[in-house]
Amino acid sequence: MERLDLLSAWQIRAGIEAGDFSATEVAQASLATIREREPRIQAFLQVCDDLALKAAAATDARRAAGQKLGSLAGVPVAFKDNMHLVGSRTTCASKMLENYESPFTATCVRRMLDAGATPVGKTNMDEFAFGSSTESSAFFPTHNPWDANRVPGGSSGGSAAAVAAGEVAIALGSDTGGSIRQPAAFCGVVGLKPTYGSVSRYGVVAFGSSLDQVGPFGRSVADVALAMDALVAGGRDRLDSTSQNVDVGFANCLEDPVEGMRVGVIPSLMEHKGLSAEIKEGLEAARKALKGQGVRIVEVGLPNMDSAIAAYYAIGPCEAFSNLARFDGVRFGYQEPSCETLAQQTAFSRAHGFGAEAKRRQLLGAYLLASGVYDKYYYPAQQVRTLITSDYAAAFKRCDALLLPAAPTTAWQFGHMSDPTQMYASDLFTISNNIAGNGGVCVPAGLGSSSGMPVAVQLQGPPFEDKKLLQVARAVERGIAHAGLFEPNTVAPSFVERGGDGA
């Protein structure tokens, strides 16, 4: 069979249906690729051979019986390790949950399985999704497939790296302040954060409940659209009060013309301190690609965007402190042995079960929610949230989507971001999107002229207009005509030109 790491999800699904190869052969190839590349990449916390082969066998049995195959039949998929899957551990890359076995399956995972996906394993992440580099994992860091000395981004760095390295065709991540889009940018793949409420979060361990959203990584916009159709199939999830009904059809509109659409740019961002020349070049390439397809570029403003980081780091830690209070060494999580009192067990279990960044965020949240402090910081942060949401609403009256950076630079080297506040600032271009709840997608835009690392652009759209957002993303992809793909048989990764079949 053809090499799995060069096949799209669409090609895998079509090949299985045509009988070119079986789902079991695809699963075996994926597992073999993981065994080969994991010593270098370390994208996975757990590889689920038995689950993968069992699911693949079920797909082959359906085909042999002449039954209809799901839209993701036989496609190897990985899940960020904050998503429950029966038969696997859900650790959130934390010692606190190191031995926790999933007692149920998250709705987002279930819907991928219902579409026929082959569950390959659980991917590494920043502990409890606190971070932007996957360095805060309690177990080991994940390496960028393009350069093992660089980070893959975070917190969904394992999922992005697994797709970029050709280990799986699709992976799911979660995005609280950019944790899908930033690692997608660093690893040269497509990453979508859908509109808040589009995808059920039931069974996903919460970081910030008003900010978190599940979304897919893929090698192309077409693969991401295919995954979205699976994620929204079945409509609103009654187990998630924030879940909304979203119609399928993401994969059917990608080739619709974008002529006449308006895409907004924010001039002040192009001069923002810290924005590298490589990122500016990528944005200009995307702008030209869209103009060449009849898109009108208009200038808009987001006047309160510079306040987004301050608002996020008031709201996010407060919600994290509330959500992680359950891990007390008694009801859930790591239990410190040989403690004489309940108070000692709670104190020592939390002290030794959580890593440094998890402690930092919870301490900040506890302080911000304290009497006399809440009114000074948390409440004004929510007011800023309202202003940012209003800014987006005004901007989208003038355009169908926004074009902006996903990150100020390409992937940095390990240890380069030793100051936590410096790493927080790197999320400037993604955080406001979560605060407002709009959809956002990251699309590869070439390789940096000096770093040789993937460069990407970000597109943001109005709430529940994610189909149109992917349509514009496909136009960028089509216009630039390249996609990042790690090539394991060469010393350096190659940038493989993609054909016009949506692969």
Positions marked active-site: 80, 155, 179
Place of tokens 């999922």: 159
What DSSP designation does 69 have? P
Burial of 387 (0-12, 13-18, 19+ CB in 10 A): middle
**Whole-angstrom Cα distance, residue 27 to residue 35?**
12
**Whole-angstrom Cα distance, residue 491 to residue 474?**
30
The kind and range of the H/E element at 40 are: helix 23-41
73 in Cβ contact with 114 (< 8 Å): no
125 in Cβ contact with 156 (< 8 Å): yes
312 in Cβ contact with 426 (< 8 Å): no
**Between 23-41 and 157-164, two packed helices, what is the crossing angle to 10 degrees?**
120
For 440-488, the DSSP string reads EEEEEEEE-TTT-SEEEEEEEE-TT-HHHHHHHHHHHHHHH-EEEE--T
**Both tokens assigned to 77:** 């998929």
Helix (H, G, I), strand (E, B), or coil: what is residue 79? strand
Place of tokens 């393009």: 146
**Whole-angstrom Cα distance, residue 173 to residue 199?**
12
**Whole-angstrom Cα distance, residue 144 to residue 133?**
10
**Both tokens assigned to 286:** 């995307």
**Whole-angstrom Cα distance, residue 349 to residue 428?**
34
Query: CA–CA distance from 142 to each of 90, 282, 337, 394 (Å)?
Result: 17, 25, 30, 39
**Both tokens assigned to 2:** 């053809």
Half-sphere exposure of 276 (CA within 13 A, CB side): 20
* CB contact set of 499 (below 8 Å; sequence gap of 6+): none
What does the longest C-alpha to C-alpha distance in the chain come to?
Answer: 71
**Between 9-18 and 221-232, two packed helices, what is the crossing angle to 10 degrees?**
70
**Between 374-395 and 356-368, two packed helices, what is the crossing angle to 10 degrees?**
100
Place of tokens 């059917």: 252
The closest of 206, 158, 203, 154 to 182, measured between CA atoms, is 154
